[in-house]
Structure formats: C-alpha cells, structure tokens
Amino acid sequence: MENDDPVPEEEARMIEELTTKAESNLREGNHYYVISNRWFMDWQRYIGKPLHAYPYNEHAQPSLLPNSATRPGPIDNSDIIVDNGSDDLQLLRTLEEGRDYVLVPQQVWEKLSEWYEGGPALPRKMISVGDANQLSVEVFPLCLNLFDTRDKSHKVIRLSKKASLHELYSIVCRLKGIAAEKARIWDYFDKKKQTELVASNQTLENSNLQMDQDILLEVHAEGSLPSGFGFDSTGNDLALVPVEPPRSSVTIAGGPTLSNGFSAGYSSIAYQGSSLNSTYGDMDDGCDSLRPTSKGERGGLAGLSNLGNTCFMNSALQCLVHTPPLAEYFLQDYTEEINRQNPLGMHGELALAFGELLRKLWSSGRTPVAPRAFKGKLGRFAPQFSGYNQHDSQELLAFLLDGLHEDLNRVKQKPYFETKDSDGRADEEVANELWRYHRARNDSVIVDICQGQYKSTLVCPDCNKVSITFDPFMYLSLPLPSTVTRTMTVTVFYSDGSGLPMPYTVNVLKHGYIKDLTQALESACCLRIDEYLLLAEVYDHRIFRYFENPTEILNSVKDDEHIVAYRLLKRVAQLTRLEICHRYQEKCVTDSSKASERKLFLTPLVTFLEDPRNGADIDFAVHKVLAPLRRKAFISSAPGLKDGAENGSPSETIEEPMNSCTIQFGCEGQSIEGIEPAGNSSMELAFHFCLTDERGTTCRPVAKDTVIQPFRMLKVMLDWTEKEYELYDASYLKDLPEVHKSGLTVKKTKQEAISLFSCLEAFLKEEPLGPDDMWYCPRCKEHRQASKKLDLWRLPDILVFHLKRFSYSRWLKNKLDTFVNFPIHNLDLSKYVKSKDTSDSHVYELYAISNHYGGLGGGHYTAYCKLIDDDRWYHFDDSHVSPVAESDIKTSAAYVLFYRRVKAQQNGVVGGSSQCHRSS
C-alpha cells in the first residue's frame, strides 16, 4: 500500500462520486468493466459499507457493515474467467450479476486499478436493447462458430449482437485474408443452410443469429459459384431462396417446416384477402398464409430447440400452444383482430410471431422447431428476456398473455369511465358494472378465455372504513403455506432494566416470516400489551442488523447465528434509541512498550432516551439498564440510592430476581424510576463511556456536561473497569445461545405435502398489508396499514395457478420444493366463488404444467401437456418429447398449473371443448 493511498472513507466517497457522475451520463457506447464480486465485496468490507449502486449479497445493512482493517490485495478476476490457456479472455457463462460480478463505469475501473492494480481488465460496451432503446451493458457478446468450406476448419468469432452484417463480413474477410466480393456467409443454424447473410446494415440480432450457433463461409472465384452452392450437406436444394426479401412494418414470424425437416428459407407468400399488406417475414422456416389451418397429423408433438438457457421460454410456450381455445384461435384466420394501432401493444407483431410459431408446432409432426424469430421479437419488445440468461417461466407467461391481449384487442378506441365507490350497493351490481367497464376497454381472445374477476375488501384499522373493489385477473399467484416447523432460540432483554435476560426456545414455521418469530416470542415471554419486541442479530459483540421488516423470511436467519430481542415500551418507539456496546482493556504482556488495547465483549444492550441533553442522561440510562445485573451484595450501594452505604459497603441484601415473566422492577418492589442519576454532586459519571459512529471507528469521551444532540440513534462504548466487574455480574451478557444447536441424532424431516386448496385458502385469507404497501384511507386522509381480504368472483374458462416457489428479500433468494397435491380431474372451486351467478361451471380439469427443477440460477424448466384429442399426456423437455403416464405428472417441480373449465352437462355428456373466441 502506497503512503499516498486514500483512507477507506475517502475511497468510498471518490468511487461514489464517479459512479453517480457516470450514471447521470449514460449513453450507448460507454465502457463498463466487469469485476469479480469476491474481490469487490472484500473492498466494500474494507471501506465499511456497500455503495448504493452496487450489491452486497451478504446479509448486512449498509449502516451496519463491519469495517475490515485489512486492505484488499490487487484486483483479482481469475474466478470469473475461463482458463483456456489463451489470451482470449472470456467470462464463465454461468455468471450472474450481483452474485458473481459487478459492473463499474470506466472511470471507476481506472481509479480502482490505479489504487490496487491487478486484473485482468474485462471491458464491455453499453448497447441499446429493445424497441424502447433501453441501455444495457453487453456482458456476453454474441459468439459465432465460423466453418470454412475450403478446409473444414472452424473459428470462434465474438462481436456485439448490435454489429452489422457489414462488420461481420469485414471481420471474417480480415481473419481469412480474402476479398469481400469472394465471400459468402450463410446462417448455418443446426448444421443446415438457412439463408445467406448478405452484407448490409442489418444487425446480427435482427438476423436471428443465436449465441454459439454456426455460420458457414464459402469462398469462390469472381463470377463463379462455389462447389456445392445451393445445396446443404445432404444435397437438398436451397437455391431458390430470396436473399433479402422486402419488409414492411408488420412481419410474420414463423411458418411450417417442410416434411423432411429442412427449411424453405425466409421467403413468404403474400397474404391475400387480409387486412395486412403483402408482407415478407423474418422467419426461421417457411410460412403459409393466415388462412384457416387444420392440425397436422400427430400435431402438437413437436419440441422447441434450446437456444441457450431458453428452457423457461420453451416451457411456457408449450403450455400456451396446448391450450385448446388458443390453438383453435390461432389456427384460424385471426388477421381481422390484429390491432396495430394500440399504443399498449406491439403493433401486432408479438401476436403474429406467436401465431406462426403455434402453427409450426401443430403442423411439423415431431420435428423440433427452433423459435429463433420468436425469441428475436421477444427481445425487442421485452428486453428483460433478451440475452441468454435463465429467466422465470411465469414472468414470461404474464408478459405473453398481456402482450397477446393488447395485440389482439378488438377495441381500437378505449372509452373513459369514472369508477364509483360501492357506497353500500349490492356486490353483484358493483361487480357487473366494473366488469362491463373492463370489457368495454379490453376485448380479446385472451380476455374471453383467461380473465376472471376477484373481490378485494380493504378495512381501515383506525376508522373501520370499508372499501370494496372488483378487479380482473389473468392468473392467481398462490403462496405455499408451510407445515414444517423450526426450533429457534432467542435471548430476550429488558430495555427498561426491569428483569434479567432470558433465552426462549420457540417453534415457528420453517418458511415463515420474522413476524411469526416475533409473535411466538411475545407469547413465550409474556409480553405486556404496552410493549413490543425489537429483534436483532448480534455478531462479534456488535448489533449486526435489526429485523424491522416483519415480512422478511425466516430463512435469512441461519442456525449458527445469535439473535436477541429487546423488550420496549410502545410509547418510546419514536424516541432516541441508545445502543450500548461493551469493551474491556487487554494488556499486551509480550511488549511492555505497547499500550493496552480495548476489545469488544459481552452482548450489546438497547434502551431509549427521552429528550437527551447531556452525558448525565446517558449515564443514568446505562445505570438503569444494567440494574438487574447488580450483584446482590451491592444492590443498595448504587450511586444515588438514598440511605445507601458509603464506599460500596452493603446495607441490605435481596434474593435473585424472579422469573422474567413476573418481575417488574430491578430492586425488590422499588421502581427504578426512583433512582436518581449518578454523579449529581460532581462532574464525574458513574461509568466511563464514549460516543461512537455506526461502525465503531471513532470514539468521543463523554462527560456529565457533554451536550448530546437528539439523533434517531446514539451508540456508546461502555468501558468496563474493575469497579464494573465488582458491581455487576457480566455472565448474564456472555455466551449467547445459537438460534439452533444441531444434535448428533436429528430426525430427518419428511418431505412436506400441502394441497392446492391450502394454497388457495392462504391466498384468500385476510391479512394486513405490508409496511411498504400502505392504503390511503379516503376517510382518514392518511396512509394506513389496512387489512385486505380477497374472494373469487368470476372464473375464466382457462384458469392458471402460479405456485410461488421463489421468494426474494433484501438478504436472500430462496426456492421452496414443497410438494403440492393438486387435482388432475374435477377441481371444484364452487365454495370459493362468492358470486351468486351459477350459469358457469366451477369445475376444472388439468391440461398443462410448467415444471422447474433445481435451484435458483441453475435450474431447468420442462412442461407436461395433455393432447385433449388423444387423451394422453406428454413430457416436453426442450426438443425432446416423450409420453408420460398421468400418474407421474404430480411432482414437487410443478410451478404453473393450467386448468380448463369442464362445461356443464349437456345431452348426457360432461365436458366439451371451449369455444375458441367470440365472433367479431
């Protein structure tokens, strides 16, 4: 470390300023640098806090991050690059931003590199993605495998997906040392010639080139065709493909592949008799018109190729294309319903891309389909799904349903309605009125078959104002109530000095929340109605973090951590919080010339100050909270106690304090309120302590007349001397128990199983809104933490259940592998529907499942879908499709469930297919 290197606080300030400046000047082409999160977290520990723009994925609040005295070594990116023995440094493909690496602006990299050196440098450019031109750093450039027909060699080329075909030709020709006019480059996806990539300004992204796919180089003499031109490796004729068809504002994506599985290229027949102009599409395979199409022989059994972590997309798509009314709709001529003017839609392009992909899947037999064009459209309109990272199939499903609805909305000019409050009107009247308003603005096949309505009741906790609304839904996200419990031990401290600390062991739901732990402790420690508990984690004799968010999941608390709870009066919640840490003096016996060091020990204490003005106020508060620890021989010798003996000689003895559930005062029937502050007759305080900052790096001694500013929180270091050891029993503050101490013989918990009905009831139960989701009460004119109750009112023909297996908090990401027992047939929801309208059946049967296997980041998606006509189930695992027994489709991987309404009995037959859509 150089002598002129800045101190940690100065480094933090400079990097924060550089980052803020870069964020205010974002533009395409800016350079960012990739830094290993392992090294960057070490640096954040060194400066003592995570910076606002960068993640810190260990559970630490910014103000409580422990400062490390160790300055990190040189920047080390070795853990995030592929060790291929070459100078071509590449990032590992499995990396995740925030978990494995951070992105810093060029100016930040240069400053960190100046201070620490190291590397290697991994620069990346900022590009615009999607139609909205959102700016994003291209961490993983496009990787293409170049095959040379002359010597059968191959070479990996890496360049931005925003690069043009001109740039691709320039790089290839320079690499191979050939003239541009002699080169022809082909899209060689799946080892087949798809179409020629003609040098133009078209980007690689718009050419549907995928990560790690092949491109083919053919070199020929000027004026002659290369050997084998016009044929792929099997000799199939591909010479009749227009190299660059004309385009229009509306394109058709997809079309059926030929019966032999080889593509007919990017050409397209002009649509006749439709509302669209003659159009050529950017398709992977051939495309027919939108004239009504029937399902091909054994249709619906085609898989979808994985284009690089696209299993999430394939799973959602297979469930949608096997939705009977959707399949029937898109196999008909739906062009009259394309809404190209809808500002909320995607100019009809998403619906056209999905429709053509569905047609290919239903007419290509068992030949897998590569959804390249569809993925290209998806990346344009939803940049969050661009690239090659794993995503969530339910999030994609939500986007597709909403996007398809807007692209197919039959309403071209949406009318305006002013919603009215229920004002005591009958629920049926209000619900029907709001449904009419909704349908007047939203009218599509998606609304016809997928949208229902639920009733939402909010009650103000202060004035009891009741607000009832009826809202549409496209799917229901159901929580997974846990049945597995967890034993947790927490030590409870009295913040008013009225009792000794006491550990309590409680049982809580394993996948519960901090509020569940708090409620269990409140019962166990006999908490009074005028008290509340403040939970905190103690690490290295400091308060590492407070648990002040009741909705934080309990999985963020590990078994080997030490958790405490402070009993506080509710009336002091808005006062100044005083946090007391303890230090002792350690003498250096090895070197008498060195000064003794002060080290932290014991458990921190927390109390509150009412209008603190000087050091004497803090001194009295410390004396008060330590009162229960006074040894009984010195219980009456406290400074300030009337008639107390001089020099600490005992004048009376008392028994040890009673059980903490019943004790109210630290001194046998005498309220501690009656004890006067110590040191009234002199300028000395009873204790030696100093004020410190949040990280404990500074220490300002406090005297009786030291002026105290009334901050939200004060932190003091209490220095223990021989006097404190003599007066107080420190053993009560030592050796905190762990949350859970695993024994040698622990019974293995069986896999928990819950029913779909339990999940639905958990979704519908009444519960208070979270602190971050307050409701504005029109009567109180204030935001209130109202209670909310949901009820099902109107159910759609296609009912989708999303099982909330993934939970996210500031501290942790988690996946629940709970087995949910869901009905396959005869799912009867009658008792959950509050509407009196009985015209529609409330009985459903399952027809598709989106599955997720594995953990976060590295999991895999598949789908189970039922071919209704065959009454058989199939497993869709990307391009692989295989039959599966109905008895095997219930697994703990089930993530999104698709049900279709069973129609009321007609002519002695129960069931029947749903109508595909309303007539236009």
Question: Which residues have a catalytic role annotated?
Answer: 311, 860
Q: β-strand 542-547 against 562-569: which pairing, if any?
A: unpaired
Those residues whose C-beta lies under 8 Å from the C-beta of residue 429, and which sit 6 or more positions away, are none
Those residues whose C-beta lies under 8 Å from the C-beta of residue 779, and which sit 6 or more positions away, are 460, 463, 465
Count Cβ neighbours within 10 Å for each residue of 592-623 and write b for 16 or more, e otherwise. Answer: eeeeeeeeeebbbbbbbbeebeebbbbbbbbb
Determine contact, residues 134/203, Cβ cutoff 8 Å: no
DSSP 355-415: HHHHHHHHHSTT--B--HHHHHHHHHH-GGG-SS----HHHHHHHHHHHHHHHT-S-SSPP
In 198-284, which ranges are E strands?
213-219
- The vertex-684 CA angle with 680 and 685, nearest 5°, equals 80
Q: Which of 340, 343, 317 is nearest to 330 (CA)?
A: 317
Q: Please identify which residue in the block is written with the tokens 């990996």.
A: 156
Q: How many residues does the chain have?
A: 920
Q: β-strand 806-808 against 101-105: which pairing, if any?
A: unpaired
Please state, in angstroms and rounded to a whole number, the distance separating the CA atoms of residues 803 and 893.
10
Q: Which of 856, 800, 867 is nearest to 827 (CA)?
A: 800
Those residues whose C-beta lies under 8 Å from the C-beta of residue 144, and which sit 6 or more positions away, are 156, 157, 158, 159, 168, 204, 209, 212, 213, 214, 215
- Helix (H/G/I), strand (E/B), else coil: 807: strand
Please state, in angstroms and rounded to a whole number, the distance separating the CA atoms of residues 697 and 48.
10
- Helix (H/G/I), strand (E/B), else coil: 831: helix
Determine contact, residues 847/319, Cβ cutoff 8 Å: no
> Which ranges constitute the DSSP H helices of 231-348?
311-321, 324-330
Name the token pair of 887. 């008895």
